[in-house]
Amino acid sequence: MSKHEVIPEEVQKDYLRRLKTPYEKKGLSKSFFDQFDKASGQEIKDGKFWRIKSSSRLCFDLYSWMADDDNYVDIEVEKQLTGLNAGGSPPNMDVFYETASDIFFIESKYTELVSGKFSIPEAYWVETDAYHTTEGKLTEKPILERYRGRRDVKDWFVPFIEYVRKLEENRKGSTWFDSKQEICHLLGITFYLLESKPQKSVHFLNVAANYSYNDLAVSFCIRAEEMIQQILRANSISTDFDYQLCGVKDFFESFLQLDKKGYKTSKTVRELISNPDLYDLSNNPVL
């Protein structure tokens, strides 16, 4: 990897200091380093975190200040959710945070683009016991078992996946919106809602630095929000749920959060994400 593609080594060391400095939420000692380290992506260990196009480091700079703010009951990166019971890695939410009245699940993007034909593992939608794994191996497990005994969830998600497949047939070129990833996250959030039955409002936001209006994404979002709301009503869960798509600038400036001091640094969030030594701003501005 070219030295021009990663941030300076001395800056990496300061990030590690910040990442490893523990914080306390809900009576527990936590660290962002441990959360990244336990996630399936291994962003720090494999070096992706140090790239000037790193969405995981951008995520840390945008949200980690909440760890020092008492208005936030909890904050974690790479929050592991319950996924499909089919042997794969569970979904990880880029950011999970909680206030006194609301819970937020954040998918955070920087430069990532999706291209090629839409594909999602057969385990999600093949209703026979036999299906092929992502490695092409024929295996057997009843779909109801794959959906953890939740027939209602299966009965909503299987037709939803078919709906998304038809939407994706009309996609041209690449896009910031990853339908497969969103389905996996939606399923994890659905299991969370059914298990936890939170009394707080729950929000799922895709906050993308490379956001642009996308008909496919909007159609997906509207149908998905309706689906989750219907599942909640069918289970007599009164939780308010919404699903939104937006850019980094719109989301953060609306809440006046860009001038917060970053976690364990004197620099503000705005200063961090506007630093050309940290991010590829000439080609990929964050704001």
Query: Is the model's pLDDT at 3 over the cut of 50?
Result: no
Query: What pLDDT score was predicted for residue 88?
Result: 80
pLDDT band at 41 (very low <50, low <70, confident <90, very high): confident
Query: Is the model's pLDDT at 95 over the cut of 60?
Result: yes
pLDDT band at 255 (very low <50, low <70, confident <90, very high): low
pTM over 0.85: yes
CA dihedral 128, 180, 40, 248 (to 10 degrees): -160
pLDDT of 56-76, one tens digit each? 999 999 999 999 999 999 999
pLDDT of 140-157, one tens digit each? 999 999 999 999 999 999
Query: What pLDDT score was predicted for residue 209?
Result: 92
**Cα(89)–Cα(93) distance, integer angstroms:** 12
* Alpha-carbon 85 to chain mean position: 20
Query: What pLDDT score was predicted for residue 87?
Result: 82
**Cα(28)–Cα(233) distance, integer angstroms:** 33
Written as one letter, the residue type at 120 is: I
Query: Is the model's pLDDT at 221 over the cut of 90?
Result: yes
Contact between 81 and 186 (Cβ < 8 Å): no
| Degrees to nearest 5, angle at CA 144 with 166 and 226 | 45
Query: What pLDDT score was predicted for residue 4?
Result: 56
Mean pLDDT of the 218-245 span: 97
Query: Is the model's pLDDT at 1 over the cut of 50?
Result: no
Query: Is the model's pLDDT at 266 over the cut of 50?
Result: yes
pLDDT of 187-211, one tens digit each? 999 999 999 999 999 999 999 999 9
Contact between 14 and 20 (Cβ < 8 Å): no
Query: What pLDDT score was predicted for residue 256?
Result: 65
Cβ-proximal residues to 119 (8 Å cutoff; 6+ apart), any chain? 180
